[in-house]
Chain A
Amino acid sequence: MTTADTNAPSLSGPASSGKPAKPSKPGWDYSPAPETVKVDIASTYGLFIDGKFQTPRNAERFATINPATEETLSEVTQASDADVDRAVKAAHAVLPKWAGLPAIERAKYIFRIARRIQERGRELAVLETLDSGKPIKESRDVDIPLVAAHFFYHAGWADKLEYATKGRRDGATKGKKALPEVAPGVRPVGVCGQVIPWNFPLLMAAWKIAPALACGNTVVLKPAETTPLTALRLAEIFEEIGLPPGVVNIITGDGRTGKALVEHPLVDKVAFTGSTEVGKRIAKATAAPRPDGKFKRLTLELGGKSPHIIFEDAAIDQAVEGIINGIYFNQGEVCCAGSRLFVQESIVEEVTKKLEIRLASLRVGDPMDKNTDVGAVNSKEQLSRIEHYLKLGEQEGATLRRANASTLPKKGYWCRPCFFTGVQPSHTIAREEIFGPVLSVLTFRTPEEAISRANNTAYGLAAGIWTEKGSKMLSIAKQIKSGVVWCNTYNKFDPTSPFGGFKESGFGREGGVQGLKAYLDG
């Protein structure tokens, strides 16, 4: 276990400096409340190709572990180039049949998936928490309900695509090998190679698979190597509901598998969510035309360094709540995490104090405990990356405020939520994505300065604005360069609302009518 020790703050008086007081022994605390549902996990998993789990001979395997205990949960298969080829070919073979189904039939399959996810919701939530380290409270109340919602929403689109594509007429894909139309003049894109991250394993799978299926595409999906279990469980659901073989294939593996998938000539569209670094490599790899002269379609949803702007006329207590939720939700391992907080100078002391108080009340620890607010960091590698930034932030002159003193389990990867004050725009911790429970607090004096500082970043994924003045809120929102701007709230996700970035946060949108575009030709 690696953690720096911290002191507990108490609700201390206004003049208290950075020196935290010793905690009093709490007289009333919550007893452990472990989630008791047990899920069966096989000792090994094969690859889900062409409608069934297959175990390639002499397959290389790797362990997936529970980051809260460091115990091995299962061993999964490293898909080789040949395996990727089989999966893509299976997806390619079934494409005309799947795209040619009456739209209402495609919708029925997707509805069935959504319902089955709801029915098995508890099991999926537990599995997600075991594999990813996120608190059960979040997987149960956020991740899994949103997964189901995405399938429900897109099931509804399957037979209404003409309303999403009004005025769009395809020409390019007409010809002998053209796929059937899924709306007047509009066809599926084809085989979609999708590579997803470890922060919201099943939710990202849903974001990718649901619109692809609704639009008549077929899919080869690669979950992240540290969190493959819920995607494999989703494959079981596909089997259960009788999804035609090959329509969705799920293959596990590390970056090599992802590379083979992205570069496969029969893949028509690549969708990637993950780091900007890998995103750039994928953009390069897909920049060259395929042997048939066509280009691969590409959407990227990458990193972020999203700003929160809090004005002195904000509802401060609620804003602090939103800031806490914005950065410490899912241990800060969120691409749209509000990791840069811009506070109007006149209220910086008050906001800092209230952040400290609120931070102290967060419960960090066993993700399976229903009262846990912040769980385990996803992997050892990620934890060391976060710790690197914590060190760097202090070296560069910012002040680290560790206001949380939760007792941590002996094993596992843990980082207590914390924040930096005295951060300058030039500091690394204000520029690079940390992807952990670390907030950088900066200041501004005027709205114009707030906007220019907020936009002074390579990223442009999300932003939060906190003010009770409506006219100011709307005017600032228009001037922030990011895909999402939340006003007086944060981290609100809904399948009907498009999500995506500007600049190095990627391109393309997921969710809403806009999200369908990437999966339709024409």
Chain B
Amino acid sequence: MLRQVHSPRVDAVMAAERAATFTKRSIKKSSKMAGLRLALSTLDLTTLEGKDTPEKVRSLCVKAVNPGTGQSDLPDNLPSVAAVCVYPSMVKFCKETLEELGALGRVKIASVATGFPSGQYPLDVRLEDTRKAIHDGADEIDMVINRGAFLSGKYDVVADEIRDVKATCLREGAAVGRPIALKVILETGELETLDNVRRASDLAIVAMEEAKRAFAGDGATKRRSDEGKAPATSNGSPNGTHINGSPTLDTSKPRNLGTSTFDFIKTSTGKVTPAATMPVTLVMLEAVRDWYLQTGQLVGVKPAGGIRTAKQSLHYLVMVKETLGSLPTVGTSVDDQHPGGWLTPELWRFGASALANDILRQISWLHTGKYRAQYDVTEA
């Protein structure tokens, strides 16, 4: 089947101009503190190196659960980060450590899979990569798309592969009894143009949806027979994945996201320059907004790579706030506040490693009026 993609075109000049306006907002005092805590709570604390070891991953997990442990210059109620993000071989160590810390499920385990970062492996290897990561304990799978196929115009190949990975997530998720979120990495640095970014975003969103529909169709008969066994969710889907948003959403009532798991589109692997940029992320936010306007369904966005400073993270949060507006969603709360829209770890993530420490330094400065030295912030 030859896939037709009718994505809106993107004007790169105006998109860059718009993205730049988000960096002009003045975020000070209490809004800065709230923003930094929000950024921390939506962070996928990441280590993706060839030299990663179980010990390195353990220290990452400890930091992820309690970023401010025993540090007197930080407020003692700092939120945990949203997830740790590691290579598949490290997932089991994450699981052990988070279990010991009693944080399993609260801090998610995200695993890159599908032959990350290049994706240049046979499909069966990539799917097995995904399956193993899930069985080892991953809650979230960060897959890479087939950029070679995309750039040679074989959109159906790209979409079919995304569908296959999503189907694997749904199937294996049902097997292990936990909803698995899929994050589709577009590797926008290799797609280069914003037109491509938009097209790849739309393609990924639709492919994931197709896989969910197919799975729901297959499972419908089976589900009727073992009703009550599967964890019930707000929308009744077998694995808690949100399938059918009503197209006429009542936005007057806060919408509780708590029991649903949402899929994401993600900018980059972090292995290609440029990684996440604001115009790229803006285009992806517009894609999920348009999808929401058309179908009422929610898809998350994760910029990854290149976001190193607290200030940058605030710029991104401003962009999310001003682009995806005021949908009254109730996600995981930070300080009992529900910023609404996409400003919740259910729908927004930062993929970063160095960012956490800069956020902590800035929080420390807001808290005590003093800056910590770089060497005085814990590693990992």
Are A31 and B325 in touch, CB under 8 angstroms? no
For the complex of A and B, 3 pairs with smallest distance between CB atoms: A24-B328, A318-B14, A33-B26
Q: List 8 A-B contacts (CB under 8 A).
A: A21-B250, A27-B343, A30-B26, A31-B29, A33-B26, A361-B321, A371-B25, A489-B14
Q: Is residue A313 contacting chain B, with contact meaning CB distance below 8 A?
A: yes
Q: Is residue B249 contacting chain A, with contact meaning CB distance below 8 A?
A: yes
Closest residue to B334 on the A side, CB-wise?
A: A27
Q: Is residue B8 contacting chain A, with contact meaning CB distance below 8 A?
A: yes
Most buried by A among B26, B27, B28, B324: B26
Are A10 and B338 in touch, CB under 8 angstroms? no
Binding-face segment, B47-55, B177-185, B292-300, B305-313: B292-300
Give which listed residue, A9, A14, A30, A322, contacts B27 with CB less than 8 A: A30
User: Which residues of A are found within 8 Å of B24, using beta-carbon distances?
Assistant: 137, 141, 370
In the assembled complex, the CB of B243 is this many whole angstroms from the nearest CB of chain A, namely: 16
Q: Is residue A477 contacting chain B, with contact meaning CB distance below 8 A?
A: no
Q: Is residue A11 contacting chain B, with contact meaning CB distance below 8 A?
A: yes
Q: Mark A18-48, 1 if CB is under 8 A from B, else 0.
A: 0001111011111101000000000000000
Closest residue to A23 on the B side, CB-wise?
A: B326
User: Which residues of A are found within 8 Å of B327, using beta-carbon distances?
Assistant: 10-11
User: Contacts A15-B247, A315-B10, A361-B325: A29 and B31 contacting too (C-beta < 8 A)?
Assistant: yes
Are A13 and B338 in touch, CB under 8 angstroms? no
In the assembled complex, the CB of B195 is this many whole angstroms from the nearest CB of chain A, namely: 9
Q: Is residue B9 contacting chain A, with contact meaning CB distance below 8 A?
A: yes
User: Which residues of A are found within 8 Å of B294, using beta-carbon distances?
Assistant: 14
Q: Mark A311-332, 1 if CB is under 8 A from B, else 0.
A: 0011111110110000000000
Closest residue to A405 on the B side, CB-wise?
A: B326
User: Which residues of B are found within 8 Å of A26, using beta-carbon distances?
Assistant: 326, 339-340
Inter-chain CA distance A317–B317, complex, in Å, is 19
Interface size class of A (residues with CB under 8 A): 35 or more
Q: Mark A89-111, 1 if CB is under 8 A from B, else 0.
A: 00000000000000000000000
Inter-chain CA distance A489–B252, complex, in Å, is 35
In the assembled complex, the CB of A410 is this many whole angstroms from the nearest CB of chain B, namely: 23
A127-147 CB contacts (< 8 Å) to partner B: 137, 141
Inter-chain CA distance A448–B57, complex, in Å, is 64
Closest residue to B343 on the A side, CB-wise?
A: A28
Are A14 and B296 in touch, CB under 8 angstroms? yes
Inter-chain CA distance A217–B9, complex, in Å, is 49
User: Which residues of B are found within 8 Å of A15, using beta-carbon distances?
Assistant: 247-248
Give which listed residue, A9, A14, A30, A489, contacts B293 with CB less than 8 A: A14
Are A488 and B14 in touch, CB under 8 angstroms? yes
A349-367 CB contacts (< 8 Å) to partner B: 353, 357, 360-361
User: Which residues of A are found within 8 Å of B31, using beta-carbon distances?
Assistant: 28-31
Q: Is residue B30 contacting chain A, with contact meaning CB distance below 8 A?
A: yes
Are A12 and B14 in touch, CB under 8 angstroms? no
Q: Is residue B38 contacting chain A, with contact meaning CB distance below 8 A?
A: yes
Q: Mark B3-14, 1 if CB is under 8 A from A, else 0.
A: 000001111011
Inter-chain CA distance A14–B297, complex, in Å, is 11
User: Which residues of A are found within 8 Å of B18, using beta-carbon distances?
Assistant: 318, 321
User: Which residues of B are found within 8 Å of A322, using beta-carbon distances?
Assistant: 14
Are B38 and A28 in touch, CB under 8 angstroms? yes
User: Which residues of A are found within 8 Å of B321, using beta-carbon distances?
Assistant: 28, 361
User: Which residues of A are found within 8 Å of B221, using beta-carbon distances?
Assistant: none
Q: Is residue B341 contacting chain A, with contact meaning CB distance below 8 A?
A: yes
Q: Is residue A8 contacting chain B, with contact meaning CB distance below 8 A?
A: yes
Q: Is residue A254 contacting chain B, with contact meaning CB distance below 8 A?
A: no
User: Contacts A8-B326, A28-B38, A360-B325: A13 and B248 contacting too (C-beta < 8 A)?
Assistant: yes
Q: Is residue A452 contacting chain B, with contact meaning CB distance below 8 A?
A: no
Are A11 and B247 in touch, CB under 8 angstroms? no
Are A10 and B14 in touch, CB under 8 angstroms? no
**How many pairs of residues, A versus B, come closer than 8 Å at their CB atoms?**
127
User: Which residues of A are found within 8 Å of B63, using beta-carbon distances?
Assistant: none
Closest residue to B14 on the A side, CB-wise?
A: A318
Q: Is residue B289 contacting chain A, with contact meaning CB distance below 8 A?
A: yes
Q: Is residue B270 contacting chain A, with contact meaning CB distance below 8 A?
A: no
Q: Is residue A456 contacting chain B, with contact meaning CB distance below 8 A?
A: no
B202-254 CB contacts (< 8 Å) to partner A: 246-252, 254
Are B326 and A317 in touch, CB under 8 angstroms? no
Q: Is residue A16 contacting chain B, with contact meaning CB distance below 8 A?
A: yes
Are A318 and B293 in touch, CB under 8 angstroms? no
User: Which residues of A are found within 8 Å of B38, using beta-carbon distances?
Assistant: 28
Give which listed residue, B254, B292, B338, B339, contacts A11 with CB less than 8 A: B292
User: Which residues of A are found within 8 Å of B286, using beta-carbon distances?
Assistant: 317
Q: Mark B27-52, 1 if CB is under 8 A from A, else 0.
A: 11111101100100000000000000
User: Which residues of A are found within 8 Å of B13, using beta-carbon distances?
Assistant: 488-489
B327-345 CB contacts (< 8 Å) to partner A: 327-328, 337-341, 343
7 new A-B contacts, CB < 8 A, other than A357-B325, A488-B14, are A9-B326, A27-B340, A31-B31, A31-B32, A141-B24, A314-B9, A370-B25
A156-186 CB contacts (< 8 Å) to partner B: none
Q: Is residue B76 contacting chain A, with contact meaning CB distance below 8 A?
A: no
Q: Is residue A81 contacting chain B, with contact meaning CB distance below 8 A?
A: no
Q: Is residue B15 contacting chain A, with contact meaning CB distance below 8 A?
A: yes
Give which listed residue, B29, B317, B326, contacts A360 with CB less than 8 A: B326
Are B247 and A13 in touch, CB under 8 angstroms? yes
Closest residue to B289 on the A side, CB-wise?
A: A11
Q: Is residue B99 contacting chain A, with contact meaning CB distance below 8 A?
A: no
Give which listed residue, A13, A316, A318, A370, contacts B251 with CB less than 8 A: A13
User: Which residues of B are found within 8 Å of A8, using beta-carbon distances?
Assistant: 326
Give which listed residue, B9, B246, B337, contacts A28 with CB less than 8 A: B337
Closest residue to B27 on the A side, CB-wise?
A: A30
Give which listed residue, B246, B293, B326, contacts A10 with CB less than 8 A: B326
Are B337 and A27 in touch, CB under 8 angstroms? yes
User: Which residues of B are found within 8 Å of A21, using beta-carbon distances?
Assistant: 250-252, 328
User: Which residues of B are found within 8 Å of A371, using beta-carbon distances?
Assistant: 25-26
In the assembled complex, the CB of B248 is this many whole angstroms from the nearest CB of chain A, namely: 4
Closest residue to A353 on the B side, CB-wise?
A: B293
Closest residue to A313 on the B side, CB-wise?
A: B9
Give which listed residue, A13, A23, A319, A370, contacts B249 with CB less than 8 A: A13
Are A10 and B322 in touch, CB under 8 angstroms? no
User: Which residues of A are found within 8 Å of B249, using beta-carbon distances?
Assistant: 12-13
Q: Mark A284-319, 1 if CB is under 8 A from B, else 0.
A: 000000000000000000000000000001111111
Closest residue to A21 on the B side, CB-wise?
A: B252
Inter-chain CA distance A316–B251, complex, in Å, is 24
User: Contacts A26-B326, A360-B326: A315 and B29 contacting too (C-beta < 8 A)?
Assistant: no
User: Which residues of A are found within 8 Å of B339, using beta-carbon distances?
Assistant: 26-28
Inter-chain CA distance A353–B317, complex, in Å, is 23
Q: Is residue A123 contacting chain B, with contact meaning CB distance below 8 A?
A: no
In the assembled complex, the CB of A31 is this many whole angstroms from the nearest CB of chain B, namely: 4
User: Which residues of A are found within 8 Å of B32, using beta-carbon distances?
Assistant: 31
User: Contacts A14-B294, A21-B252, A22-B252: A315 and B11 contacting too (C-beta < 8 A)?
Assistant: yes
Inter-chain CA distance A30–B18, complex, in Å, is 19
Closest residue to B340 on the A side, CB-wise?
A: A24
User: Which residues of B are found within 8 Å of A321, using beta-carbon distances?
Assistant: 14, 17-18
